[in-house]
Structure 1
Amino acid sequence: MPLPTIVFGILLSTLYGGLYHLIRGGKTRKLLLYLALAWAGFWMGDTIGWLLNWTFAPVGMMNAGMGTLGAFFFLVVGDVVGMIMARK
């Protein structure tokens, strides 16, 4: 995968994590968690999309649509798990 594609994917997933933090709120620790979840989910979604041959909004060699779905899945699941763990 070319370097500009990787940089664009990192920027896109960082935007998703930042927007999620803006909507949900929280401290700096939460921002770092959301960024990590968005990065992991984006690249996991991209990889799964290519492995299963599901292409949705490809940008060059990057499957941006599946990456976006993966990022939001990781963000929501991570947030729910975090809320459950905070209650215990």
Structure 2
Amino acid sequence: MNCFAGFTRETPTGFLAMLRFAEDGQAEPVLAPGGKPMVYPTEVEAWRAVTASLLRYFNGRMRREGVVITSARVEANRIFRKGRVIQVESR
């Protein structure tokens, strides 16, 4: 399924922020810098982490399946277009 999901899961020590991306088969927790699941003291903080992580993913560098915006395109446009502006007229 091409679905994204975000939810919280309660643990004995706090709450986990869980994310499921379309390319993954199961939800995974938001990780701390050391690679271990980040445990949040309140559910609200976990929901904030879910929201922030999903927004970072959606507003990231990925543009379509497997294509990443790189500086190579900018460099190619600089070389071949030589700064010319291409006018586009709509009718």
Class of the TM-score when normalised by the shorter of the 2 chains: 0.3 to 0.5
Going by fraction, where is strand more abundant, 1 or 2?
2
More helix by share: 1
TM-score (norm 2): 0.34
Structure 1 or 2, whichever has the larger Rg, is 2
TM-score, L = length of structure 1? 0.35
